Amino acid sequence: MALAFDEYGRPFIIIREQDKKSRLRGLDAQKANITAGKAVTRILRTSLGPKGMDKMLQSPDGDVTITNDGATILEQMDVDNQIAKLMVELSRSQDYEIGDGTTGVVVLAGALLEQAEKLLERGIHPVRIAEGYEMASRIAVEHLEHIAQKFEYSVSNIEPLVQTCMTTLSSKIVSRCKRTIAEIAVKAVLAVADLERKDVNLDLIKVEGKVGGKLEDTELIYGILVDKDMSHPQMPKRIEDAKIAILTCPFEPPKPKTKHKVDIDTVEKFQTLRHQEHKYFNDMVQKCKDVGATLVICQWGFDDEANHLLMHHNLPAVRWVGGVELELIAIATGGRIVPRFQELTPEKLGKAGIVREKSFGTTKDRMLYIEQCANSRAVTIFIRGGNKMMIEETKRSLHDALCVARNLIRNNFIVFGGGSAEISCSIAVESGADGYPGVEQYVIRSFAEALDSIPMALAENSGLQPIETLSAVKSQHIKEKTPFCGIDCNDVGTNNMQEQFVFETLIGKRQQILLATQVVKMILKIDDVISPSDY
């Protein structure tokens, strides 16, 4: 915008680039937005369920990601439509809150938009649609809580937890060894969980991966695994009853700053300096030895001289350990991170039963295992796999499984999967619609229809006839009043999800319905889109 004056001194305002803006108003805006939302959904729809397809995405710098995880697909797709970005955000918030169900939430939102489009065409006002959806989602969530089942587990009986994690993993690329991974996830979560407070801190679970070996070799380590090796090849590879000094100060003499100048013009001066430096190192090493440390883990590097001295003094050391790892090591070993040598005391040392170095492959790739720690509440999951893509995808799938296990510890109610919960809610919403005399009932019925899209997508992706299968299951629900009949994706022979052990968490499902409704309401209320146009 600019202010200008004409020849008579009268001011006028020039609005620059006004004609370059494109603008959509009213019904056109809503329709355009709905189309954009639906386009995103169409991409994810085929990835839903145990027979869902995977996507291969290439980043601008050539990195390839193969994944089945909704949140990851959208994250990497680099969309630039604003409404499409809302869908990405939707998937991300599901990922953030729950961890699983990121594809399902987008599919549901897309179906709600599709239904909204039909309602708009019938002349129903967008605000009425938004209100109707809100009412319907309330009915659905209430019904969901009604059909949810409490599910019992204990530390000695982890099977139910494992089964639920397996449902999550069954739709991933790693489903081949879902049992192993599900067990690892559950054990890891139980190791760090505070069952009394029903609290799980997933930060205490470190996930490390290394190319090589088989997926089946993935293991849970009750301790910390660091992708580093001893700083000197001749240092011991195995230390028992280690007392660990965890340092964030460098093993170096202080360096002169650029402001200062050191003039060395005689041999004597050089020797004094060298002597000083030597003494400095010796003091530092001695300090560590004095407090009783048998291993030094240092955030900084140290040069060859220090390295040699450490070796010479029989003090094994590990250098360049990252800050996060340092923190985990401190938690696991019950030690304190020491920022200055002067502050080193015996109580600040961490304790570990065994510290060992293990090498992999032929490339002399070595990793450091810190096990039998004083405090076992920090664990590491070590993933092996054929290539980097596989390991990355396993990490993502494992994240889903860990989140599911955590959610179950927080709230141990489950609903049945395979679309059965959605069908049951759909029936409840449908019959709830009869109680509303106004236009709302159409909207509420549309919501019920949108819920059906999840079982439809599951059936479609498994190569079944979607409409036939859905109507068969639905009539079964109504006739037998069984909330656990779903889509038999794996062709097991029964559509009873209780028998197939396909469970999902109640809070995950509830969040899906609530989030999807919220986003769709938001999109429907936009009636003016002003954007810079492309030229």
Residues of the shown chain interacting with ligand ADP in the complex, contacts defined by CB under 6 A: 47-50, 52, 68, 70, 100-104, 167, 170-171, 417-419, 454, 458, 486-487, 489-490, 500, 502, 504
223 or 419: CB nearest ligand ADP: 419
Q: Let me know if 400 is a catalytic residue.
A: yes
Catalytic-labelled residue, pool 400, 469, 488, 505: 400
Closest approach of Cβ 171 to Mg ion, in Å? Answer: 5
Catalytic-labelled residue, pool 41, 67, 69, 505: 69
207 or 239: CB nearest Mg ion: 207
Closest approach of Cβ 460 to Mg ion, in Å? Answer: 17
Closest approach of Cβ 48 to ligand ADP, in Å? Answer: 5
38 or 206: CB nearest ligand ADP: 38
CB contact at 8 A, 204 and 192: yes
103 or 294: CB nearest ligand ADP: 103
511 near Mg ion, rule: CB under 5 A: no
Token couple for 416: 């049945």
CB contact at 8 A, 461 and 48: yes
Name the segment binding Mg ion (CB under 5 A); options: 95-103, 323-331, 414-422, 478-486. Answer: 95-103
Q: Select the binding partner of residue 490 from ligand ADP, Mg ion, none (C-beta < 5 to 8 A, by kind).
A: ligand ADP
CB contact at 8 A, 241 and 356: no
For residues 114 and 409, what is the distance between their CA atoms, to the nearest angstrom? 36
**What is the dihedral sign for C-alpha 44, 46, 52, 58?**
negative
Q: Select the binding partner of residue 504 from Mg ion, ligand ADP, none (C-beta < 5 to 8 A, by kind).
A: ligand ADP
Q: Which residues pair with 318 in a beta bridge?
A: 230, 297
Helices 178-192 and 388-410 pack at an angle, to 10 degrees, of: 50
Other beta carbons within 10 Å of 388: 14
Closest approach of Cβ 217 to ligand ADP, in Å? Answer: 24
Q: Select the binding partner of residue 418 from Mg ion, ligand ADP, none (C-beta < 5 to 8 A, by kind).
A: ligand ADP
101 or 335: CB nearest ligand ADP: 101
Q: Select the binding partner of residue 52 from Mg ion, ligand ADP, none (C-beta < 5 to 8 A, by kind).
A: ligand ADP
86 or 230: CB nearest ligand ADP: 86
Catalytic-labelled residue, pool 67, 102, 167, 505: 102
Other beta carbons within 10 Å of 532: 9
Token couple for 509: 């499902």
Helix (H, G, I), strand (E, B) or coil at 441: helix
Closest approach of Cβ 171 to ligand ADP, in Å? Answer: 3
DSSP assignment of 32-85: HHHHHHHHHHHHHHTT-STTPPPEEEE-TTS-EEEE--HHHHHHHH----HHHH
Name the segment binding Mg ion (CB under 5 A); options: 35-43, 167-175, 287-295, 318-326. Answer: 167-175
**What is the dihedral sign for C-alpha 133, 73, 400, 164?**
positive
For residues 383 and 173, what is the distance between their CA atoms, to the nearest angstrom? 14
Q: Let me know if 103 is a catalytic residue.
A: yes
100 or 449: CB nearest Mg ion: 100
177 or 354: CB nearest Mg ion: 177
Closest residue to ligand ADP: CB criterion: 417
Name the segment binding Mg ion (CB under 5 A); options: 41-49, 168-176, 222-230, 458-466. Answer: 168-176
321 or 402: CB nearest Mg ion: 402
For residues 184 and 167, what is the distance between their CA atoms, to the nearest angstrom? 15
DSSP assignment of 356-394: EEEEETTTTEEEEEEEEESS---EEEEEEESSHHHHHHH
Q: Select the binding partner of residue 70 from ligand ADP, Mg ion, none (C-beta < 5 to 8 A, by kind).
A: ligand ADP
> Which of 164, 160, 223 has its CA nearest to residue 188?
223
Sheet of 205-211: strand order equals 205-211, 379-385, 219-221
Q: Select the binding partner of residue 458 from ligand ADP, Mg ion, none (C-beta < 5 to 8 A, by kind).
A: ligand ADP
Token couple for 333: 């070993």
168 near Mg ion, rule: CB under 5 A: yes
Closest approach of Cβ 402 to ligand ADP, in Å? Answer: 14
100 near Mg ion, rule: CB under 5 A: yes
Binding to Mg ion (CB under 5 A): which residues in 408-467? none
65 or 168: CB nearest Mg ion: 168
> Which of 75, 5, 65, 3 has its CA nearest to residue 40?
75
Closest approach of Cβ 390 to ligand ADP, in Å? Answer: 18
Catalytic-labelled residue, pool 103, 168, 333, 505: 103
Q: Select the binding partner of residue 209 from ligand ADP, Mg ion, none (C-beta < 5 to 8 A, by kind).
A: none
Q: Give me the residue label for tokens 């009915």.
A: 139
Total number of residues that touch Mg ion (CB under 5 A): 2
Closest approach of Cβ 418 to Mg ion, in Å? Answer: 12
Query: Helix, strand, coil: what percent of the chain each, to 5?
Result: 50, 20, 30
CB contact at 8 A, 281 and 309: yes
For residues 132 and 151, what is the distance between their CA atoms, to the nearest angstrom? 33
> Which of 343, 338, 319, 340 has its CA nearest to residue 327?
338
For residues 217 and 382, what is the distance between their CA atoms, to the nearest angstrom? 9
Q: Select the binding partner of residue 48 from Mg ion, ligand ADP, none (C-beta < 5 to 8 A, by kind).
A: ligand ADP
- Would you say how long the chain is, in residues? 535
Closest approach of Cβ 101 to ligand ADP, in Å? Answer: 4
Closest approach of Cβ 347 to Mg ion, in Å? Answer: 45
Give me the active site residues, please.
Answer: 69, 102-103, 400
Positions in the binding site for Mg ion (CB under 5 A): 100, 168
